[in-house]
Structure 1
Amino acid sequence: MHLKTISFLIIFSLICLSHQSCRQESKTIKQTEVTFKKEADLTIYKSNTDSIIKKLDIELAETDYDIQTGLMYRDTMKENQGMLFIFEDETERFFYMKNTRFSLDLIYINANKKIVSFQKNAKPFDEASLPSNAPAKYVLEINAGMVDAWKVSVGDDINFTRN
């Protein structure tokens, strides 16, 4: 009888140990890395002189999926890169930074490709609304601080050419 109890305890202990070690194995799911894909060239022009402020390589967000995802899940973006959101209509826009890992400047642009407003230094992961405060057909996302560094102003123009 004593031998059965000892055998049972040994088997029970082995099962418990193997079960705990299986539970302690951590399974990490590696996220697919999203990389920049140049789809167009964009130029920002000073409105009063037509001089070039900055030339950028940009990705385009035109589909519902691309518009909803934007720059989410990316770690960085180069200074000469951006993402241009293209909408079918011109209306007030509301963006947020959910799942966006780095700060951005958002430039809101009307159907005539004139800059109508900004949201500067949008904080990573912040779900607060970032409104355009004016009708916009396009939204350009660039690295935070670039609007000020490049001295971009409301009324300046953009133009883009698809590759």
Structure 2
Amino acid sequence: MKVVIQRCKQAQVKVQEEVVGAIGAGLMLLVGITHEDTEKDATYLADKIAGLRIFEDDDEKMNLSVQDISGSILSVSQFTLYGDCRKGKRPNFMAAARPETAEVLYDRFNELLRAKGLEVQTGQFGADMDVELTNWGPVTIILDSPQA
């Protein structure tokens, strides 16, 4: 699994002009899943993300997690994170998991985050979505699960 994490002041996702998920301060996650990913990968990333200290404390040091600030998460599935552009100019998405497999693991990943007491909003799996956010910092981190 691969997750692009953006610290944000606010974020929302729309499907056909309708807001389907929105948060205030917290983390915007773009989540990609490949063929070899398992619940072990989802658990590893949920644990890492929930405790990732990328919010500033009173001394302006990145020392607080999304849990520490009572922030929220907007999680959006993103198969294009596994786009391979090494040959030619058109991405190859063969490394991305099939939708029926990816959706199950994506849902489980979000459940694991919720089990940590986090509010998790989502986009709509497989839909054409418009994503808006105010990146705070900007701070953007890319995490891969150990098998990647």
**Structure with larger RCO (C-alpha < 8 A, sep 6+):** 2
Q: Same fold (TM over 0.5)?
A: no
Q: Which TM-score applies when normalising by structure 2? A: 0.31
TM-score by length of 1: 0.29
